[in-house]
Amino acid sequence: PLAALNDPTLLKTDALIAGEWVGGNSRFDVTDPATGLKLADVANLGPIETHDAIVAAEKAWPAWRAKTAKERAAILMKWFHLLHQHADDLARIMTAEQGKPLAEARGEVGYGASFLEWFAEEAKRVYGETIPTTDGNKRYLVVKQPIGVCAAITPWNFPIAMITRKVAPALAAGCPVIIKPAEQTPLSALACAELAQRAGMPAGVLNIVTADGPQSIEVGKVLCSSGVVRHLSFTGSTEVGRILAAQCAPTIKKLSLELGGNAPFIVFDDADIDSAVEGAMVSKYRNAGQTCVCANRLYVQDKVYDAFVEKLAAKAGGIQVGNGFDKGVNQGPLIDDQAIAKVEGHVADAVAKGARVVVGGERIGDRFYTPTVLANVTGDMLCAREETFGPVAPVFRFESEAEVIELANATEFGLASYFYSRDVGRIFRVAEALEYGMVGINTGLISTAEVPFGGVKQSGLGREGAHQGMDDYVELKYLCLGDI
Ligand code: ADP
């Protein structure tokens, strides 16, 4: 699938350190999840090269922070335009290594690029503050300065957007970065890095250290334990987030964590049911259910339960599953064998405990899974507690508002939540009661660069996107001017 690129030089397989492409001593395979075929072998780096990247970033920092915000913004904007110009190739690379349908990949290129534009604009608005004095002989000022060398460890489900969402605010604020992309999807990251080079990114400001699974652990240890690295941003599982946070504790590193979710999707009986079905479709089945904000538990009020299940099953049954490059396909494969095993496990567990498969419930080939709706789902099933990360919609029945709020909040996660209602009083009550960082009300799609994305409880720390997305990459410095 990669033979058809308009610009074959976007297909990079070496890592990027100090502005040089680094091949390393060993390589690892990147495969197409749709076919299982090898796409490329990529540099498999370790602690030594990671250390090189840290040194390169540290060296690049003074000149990068000394640039005006407008100068940094100009490079980010150039990068933004290059992503758009090469959107077709970037989408092909993404579909090949990640599996999502080409149209969805194209959408992610635009979404990923939007963070570069947004933070290029925000770079110019990192305002300080003056504080009214309480001592006539003194003046109080607050300035914001870049935090320093930043590291980012990113997942495979959004191979471009999860990088730009971290890297754009870091670069805009004046920080150099080291990225360790997911081992499943390094080619998207490296293609973006090539475009950053073309945009005029100075050597050492943007470094990409690629590594396979086991080596990623070693790379992570070096990044976390470094005293030079001042900030770590991670998107991935809560389990790995905990490990990284512990590894960062000795150096008191600032952390931005975007971890797992267990999103409730609540449909009250006063909702517009067709609209709720539409919302559930996009929230549940986008990216084959492999997003951390995917509806994981659907709670539908008694009176509208049967109608909702029937309509959702009819729509879900219409999804075309197949290779993301094929026309008409709107759901690709799951990322790997582990992912499909988890989905199968959740469905088998639910069925064994009394759930009914309304539609789907079948594996096709190695890694494809039919869009599934489960009815008569209960709280004792695995899918009630764990993130399924696949195209399975378990639908629970509930009676009252108080009951569903309690059920929705009964999890250690707190990323995204959704509910459908037309009652304005209920909208405020429920929105305020949900213990989540984000609440979609009468919509299943909430992500955009302008808003603060992030979770509470064990779903993470900090916010990405929005003007708040810059906060983690700057330190406040208080200046006290005396002797006026
Ligand atoms: P997922 O379940 O989505 O694959 P993970 O949390 O396992 O999410 O992985 C997300 C990212 O974290 C990937 O880039 C992966 O290589 C990296 N990673 C996983 N385990 C570790 C670790 N122990 N140290 C550093 N990075 C890790």
**Tens digit of each residue's pLDDT (9 = 90 or more) over 206-265:** 999 999 999 999 999 999 999 999 999 999 999 999 999 999 999 999 999 999 999 999
Could you give the residue ranges of the DSSP H alpha helices within 13-158? 47-66, 69-85, 87-98, 102-122
Task: Please report the pLDDT score of residue 25 as a whole number.
Answer: 95
Active site residue: 258, 387, 401, 464, which one?
258
**258 a catalytic residue:** yes
How far, in Å, is the centroid of ligand 1 from the Cα of 215?
11
- Mean pLDDT of all residues in 422-442: 98
Q: For residue 183, how far is its CA from the centre of ligand 1 (angstroms)?
A: 9
Mutate to test the pocket of ligand 1, among 28, 156, 216 (most ligand atoms within 8 A of CB): 216
Q: What is the DSSP letter of 319?
A: P
H or E element, residue 403: helix 401-409
Average pLDDT, the chain: 98
Q: Could you give the percent of the chain with pLDDT greater than 70?
A: 100
pLDDT in tens, 383-401: 999 999 999 999 999 999 9
d(CA 443, CA 294): 12
Closest protein CA for atom 14 of ligand 1: 182
Interface confidence (ipTM) of the complex? 0.98
Rounded to 10 degrees, the C-alpha dihedral 191/193/196/198 comes to -60
Show Cβ contacts of residue 385 under 8 Å, excluding neighbours closer than 6 positions: 262, 411
Nearby residues of 238 by Cβ (< 8 Å), 6 or more positions away: 259, 260, 412, 413, 458, 459
Give the number of the atom of ligand 1 that is nearest the alpha carbon of residue 157.
3
Cα of 223 from ligand 1 centre, angstroms? 13
Residue 1 has pLDDT above 90, yes or no: no
**Atom of ligand 1 lying closest to residue 235 CA:** 10
3-state secondary structure of 325: coil
Q: Radius of gyration of the chain from Cα atoms?
A: 23
Mean pLDDT (whole number) for 62-82 = 98
In sequence order, which residues have a C-beta less than 8 Å from that of residue 352 and are 6 or more positions away? none
**How does residue 376 score in pLDDT terms, banded at 50, 70 and 90?**
very high
Q: Which residues contact 200 (CB under 8 A, 6 or more apart)?
A: 75, 78
Residues touching ligand 1 (Cβ under 6 Å) are 153-155, 180, 182-183, 216-217, 220, 236-237, 240, 243
pLDDT band at 289 (very low <50, low <70, confident <90, very high): very high
C-alpha closest to that of 266 among 401, 382, 378: 401
* C-alpha of residue 240 to centroid of ligand 1, in Å: 6
Measured from the CA of 244, which atom of ligand 1 is nearest? 24
pLDDT (tens digit, 9 = 90+) per residue, 4-15?
999 999 999 999
Q: Whose C-alpha lies nearest to ligand 1, atom 11?
A: 155
